[in-house]
Amino acid sequence: MCGIVGVVSTSPVNQLIYDALLLLQHRGQDAAGIVTQLERKFYMHKAKGMVRDTFRTRNMRALPGNIGLGQVRYPTAGNAHSEEEAQPFYVNAPFGIVMVHNGNLTNAKQLRAELADTDHRHTNTDSDSEVLLNVLAHELARATSGAPLKTVDVFKAVRAVHKRVKGSYAVIALIAGYGLLAFRDPYGIRPLCLGRGADGSVMLGSESVALEGNLYTLERDIAPGEAVFVGTDGSVQTEQCADKAELHPCIFEYVYLARPDSVMDGISVYQARLNLGESLAKRVISTVPPNEIDVIIPIPESSRPSAMQLAQLLGLPYREGFVKNRYVGRTFIMPGQGARKKSVRQKLNAISSEFKGRNVLLVDDSIVRGTTSKEIVQMARDAGASKVYLASAAPPVRFPNVYGIDMPTKSELVAHDRTVEEIRQVIGCDALIYQDVDGMKKAIGALNPAVNGFEASCFDGVYVTGDISEGDIAALNAGRTGAEEGDADTSRLSLPNAQDA
Ligand SMILES: O=P(O)(O)OC[C@H]1O[C@H](OP(=O)(O)OP(=O)(O)O)[C@H](O)[C@@H]1O
Ligand SMILES: NC(=O)CC[C@H](N)C(=O)O
Ligand SMILES: [Mg+2]
């Protein structure tokens, strides 16, 4: 997951894109970038770091023009620490094109070779997004064969991209002098929506919160496989460019990734989390009798709606037992297990009076590597809790994700190859209650019957693009560097015996 945004307006867009990226900061904390265009010239600033640190006033002043795009990066391919892999990416042929991408390609290695050997296009980083941009550029060149660009050529090129590229991709590209192109992969794995400002200007973004926070009205989501072309005058043309398109959004967006005040593919993220809490309540009742629980305590931030709903259904008090330091970022999306572990303690601190002598049920949205839960359970004990139960609003995360979430290897997942009892022992709680996969899909799916299904591979091992083998996963991991000192030695990431875990 990354956050992407694109705007076509009648006034300068630099501040607007910056504000939208701030609203999408939770989707990527590693790098940020903006490109604007004025009179056919692109102006770009991108660097490692959070939005506020990346853009100084002088950088903002150097981004003129009424059209542009931006990205916040959470690396899932290539090198996590590379400044060059910050987005947007740029190519100068067949047109000036800059592009931002949220997602992850599963055939980037093969495409990179094709680009070099057959298409004669050079890629200069290990980023899959640079590969995607070059495939798009090559297909635009083929569609136009030297003539000026027409919208029909744009759609023809996107059709060809869908045929060549595998994996997940929500994309916004700016074609110099022509307009903004946006498209989503044929399963709509990663989100993308479109809204309008009062003056008719158009904004595209990963989450509706980026639009609404800038007083744009959400009009609709981009359909899976669909391409939308927004001309420099704000005119919108659209075409379905995939032979077969079905909506299978990533279920982890609703569990953790997205902001609760966003609506994605017709589903309110907040309501999805409330529903997860409701369904989790049934599981809790069958494991720990509610009269053995004194208080429900959420693990801030993302679990709050689920914990609230669960407490209400069990008729138990909901209390804030942990205070979050708002200046520490999200721990799960940090590259590097060492950084993640250190940050849990920096980020959350217990209020002892809520724990002393009580049986507490802690609620988290998900347990991935177990970093958070292990620390938190110990903190609850240190604060004097008698019994510490833990409930997860999502089922066990057992399989790697290849579609843009940083869960690349099985061995780093605390639930991989372990029974719930074994996981409980690793985490050190007195009882561990998980949501089940069907319960999760029903709780969220009930909110929009038009969704064909969910991409839920990290929970059920079913990869919606249908073409992921153990070998593919190994190859994808081999293409990643810098996410962790022990990248190549994944055993260092596995709990419970990891030295730095
Ligand atoms: O099992 P783990 O590997 O620790 O990952 C899971 C935890 O990470 C996330 O929290 P995070 O701090 O990233 O963000 P939040 O403040 O939105 O909850 C998530 O909400 C869980 O608490
Ligand atoms: N999480 C994402 O969407 C990442 C985009 C791209 N794969 C990168 O690593 O830069
Ligand atoms: Mg959390």
Give the ligand 2 atom nearest the CA of 105: 7
SS3 readout for 360-411: EEEEECCCCCCHHHHHHHHHHHHCCCCEEEEEECCCCCCCCCCCCCCCCCHH
* pLDDT tens track for 389-421: 999 999 999 999 999 998 878 989 999 999 999
Domains in the chain (CATH in brackets) are: 3-248 (3.60.20.10), 271-325+332-447 (3.40.50.2020)
- pLDDT bracket for residue 304 (50, 70, 90): very high
Comparing C-alpha atoms, which of 204, 247, 205 is closest to residue 225? 247
Using the predicted structure, report yes or no on whether residue 487 has a pLDDT greater than 70: no
- Residue 186 to residue 245: CA distance in whole angstroms: 5
Q: Please report, for the chain, how many H helices and E strands are present, in that order.
A: 16, 23
- Average pLDDT over every residue of 339-352: 83
Rounded alpha-carbon distances, angstroms, from residue 39 to 65, 75, 137, 143, 186: 8, 32, 21, 24, 34
* pLDDT tens track for 352-368: 999 999 999 999 999 99
- Average pLDDT over every residue of 101-106: 96
Q: What is the pTM of this model?
A: 0.94
Other Cβ atoms within 10 Å of 146 Cβ, number? 6
Q: Which ligand is nearest to the CA of 328?
A: 1
* ipTM confidence: 0.97
- Residue 368 to residue 381: CA distance in whole angstroms: 21
Using the predicted structure, report yes or no on whether residue 484 has a pLDDT greater than 60: no
Using the predicted structure, report yes or no on whether residue 187 has a pLDDT greater than 90: yes
Query: CB–CB of 71/4 below 8 Å?
Result: yes
- Which of 2, 241, 250, 429 is labelled catalytic? 2
Among 127, 253, 458, 481, the mutation site with the greatest number of ligand 2 atoms within 8 A of its Cβ is: 127
Among 254, 331, 365, 414, the mutation site with the greatest number of ligand 1 atoms within 8 A of its Cβ is: 331
Please state which of the ranges 37-41, 237-241, 478-482 shows the lowest mean pLDDT: 478-482
* pLDDT tens track for 83-92: 899 999 999 9
Spacing, Cα 372 to ligand 1 middle (Å): 6
Report the pLDDT value the prediction gives residue 490, as an integer from 0 to 100.
28
Is-catalytic flag, 2? yes
More confident residue, 499 or 195: 195
Spacing, Cα 170 to ligand 2 middle (Å): 10
Using the predicted structure, report yes or no on whether residue 235 has a pLDDT greater than 50: yes
Q: What mean pLDDT value characterizes the chain?
A: 92
* pLDDT tens track for 190-221: 999 999 999 999 999 999 999 999 999 999 99
Query: CB–CB of 203/172 below 8 Å?
Result: no
Q: Which ligand is nearest to the CA of 88?
A: 2
Structure token pair of residue 112: 């990179």
Classify strands 348-350 and 322-324 as parallel, antiparallel or unpaired. antiparallel
